[in-house]
Amino acid sequence: MKPPKLNLAFDVCAHTFGHYPWDDWERFALARGLDAETAGLGRLLIREAYNHGWEAWLQNLCGWSDDLSAGQAGGQALLAFAMRSPEKARWCFSRLMDTDGLRGDVHPRTKEWTWGYLRLDVRRVLSTLHNGAGARPPEPTTGD
């Protein structure tokens, strides 16, 4: 199976339904032995990072930064994480999508999605990313 190419400059109009880069990543992940649920969530994550214009550092985290000029398949680090720890990967993928790329979350008091609010567990993930990533994402508003 041909490795996927995750290139943010791809021409969306040149692709057909089921043949977008995120679809290719899902097929590649399944062929490598990733379970269908985690591969499906990974596909959604890659698509949302692109379609919702998440910040560059977060798009990179979601597989869009792999060195395509070196012939490396897109999303390899994402796939390696999902293969190594599928349960953690599903949790992380879901939280990133629930928060629209760490932009906000459902506030416990208002029960409404609130821009800039992040639950404590997601703030911990963001803190981990701050400490482990070269690019520093902005601090979110806690909004308690």
The angle that helices 76-84 and 21-31 make with each other, rounded to 10 degrees, is: 40
Domain range annotation of the chain: 12-132
Q: What percent of the chain has pLDDT over 70?
A: 73
Q: Is the dihedral of CA 11, 12, 14, 15 positive or negative?
A: positive
pLDDT value of position 60: 81
Token pair for 25: 């990543």
Contact 52, 100 (CB under 8 A): yes
User: Given pLDDT bands bounded at 50, 70 and 90, which one contains residue 31?
Assistant: very high
User: Given pLDDT bands bounded at 50, 70 and 90, which one contains residue 124?
Assistant: confident
Q: Is 102 exposed, middle or buried (0-12, 13-18, 19+ CB in 10 A)?
A: buried
Residues 62-110 have pLDDT tens digits of: 887 765 555 455 688 888 889 998 998 898 899 899 999 989 888 889 9
